[in-house]
Structure formats: structure tokens, C-alpha cells
């Protein structure tokens, strides 16, 4: 039973444009929603998070939006840069510790 879904396995965006990565979930019990970025041969690195009581959190070029009624999470990157090319995972936290990861979206930013 896949609780967290990233339906787009890949996304290509022109440098300078906006990248929008999406994540859908089925369980309403998640407390925090996180995005991780992964480069080849490296572990995932934390990018940004949002609490379930908020609907938006911004950090520089990265903004995360949460729509609880639709059980939908998105990450906006603007402007996109070639160094943003990586696999992005959403990760949903229930309780204090456990994270459930999505399947990932590979973002390619074209110079």
C-alpha cells in the first residue's frame, strides 16, 4: 500500500523557469512534510519542510505548498538552475520519527 506517490518520474525544465514537483498522499495522519534532494552516488539531503498546520513555507528559491484537503504537496523552484538537477523525494513524517518516502522525481534543468 503506497501511502506517498510522486506520479511524475521525470521532469525537464529550462534554466531560469519554474520547476514544480508534486506529491500526493493517502493518510491524513502526517505531521510534517519534507523534501529531500539526491545526487548520484550520494545520500538524500534535506531541502525544506512544512508543518501540517501551515500551507506554505519559503526558503530562498524553494517554496513548499501543502493542500491538506486535496492531500497534495508541491515544491516550487524558481528560478531553476542546472545545479538543481537531481532526484527529488517527498517524505512524510508521522509521529516523532518515521518518514515515508515517495518514489522520486528526476529533475533535469537544461542550460
Partner 1 sequence: GAGVSQTPSNKVTEKGKYVELRCDPISGHTALYWYRQSLGQGPEFLIYFQGTGAADDSGLPNDRFFAVRPEGSVSTLKIQRTERGDSAVYLCASSPPDGYSGANVLTFGAGSRLTVL
- Per CB under 8 A, residues contacting partner 1 are 4, 6, 9, 32, 34, 36, 41-46, 49, 51, 89, 91, 93, 96-104
Nearest approach in angstroms of CB 111 to partner 1 is: 27
Nearest distance in Å: CB 54, partner 1:
11
What the block records as the C-alpha cell of 20 is: 514544480
- At CA 92, angle to CA 4 and CA 69, rounded to 5? 70
Q: List C-alpha distances in Å: 35 to 79, 105, 111.
A: 18, 11, 24
Identify which of residues 6 and 80 has a Cβ nearer to partner 1 in the complex: 6
Amino acid at each position: 500500500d503506497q501511502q506517498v506517490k510522486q506520479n511524475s518520474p521525470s521532469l525537464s525544465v529550462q534554466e531560469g523557469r519554474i520547476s514544480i514537483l508534486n506529491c500526493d498522499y493517502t493518510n491524513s495522519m502526517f505531521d510534517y512534510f519534507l523534501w529531500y534532494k539526491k545526487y548520484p552516488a550520494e545520500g538524500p539531503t534535506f531541502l525544506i519542510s512544512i508543518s501540517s498546520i501551515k500551507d506554505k513555507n519559503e526558503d530562498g528559491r524553494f517554496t513548499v505548498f501543502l493542500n491538506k484537503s486535496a492531500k497534495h504537496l508541491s515544491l516550487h523552484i524558481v528560478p531553476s538552475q542546472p545545479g538543481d538537477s537531481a532526484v527529488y523525494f517527498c517524505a512524510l513524517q508521522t509521529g516523532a520519527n518515521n518518514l515515508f518516502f515517495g518514489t522520486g522525481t528526476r529533475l533535469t534543468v537544461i542550460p
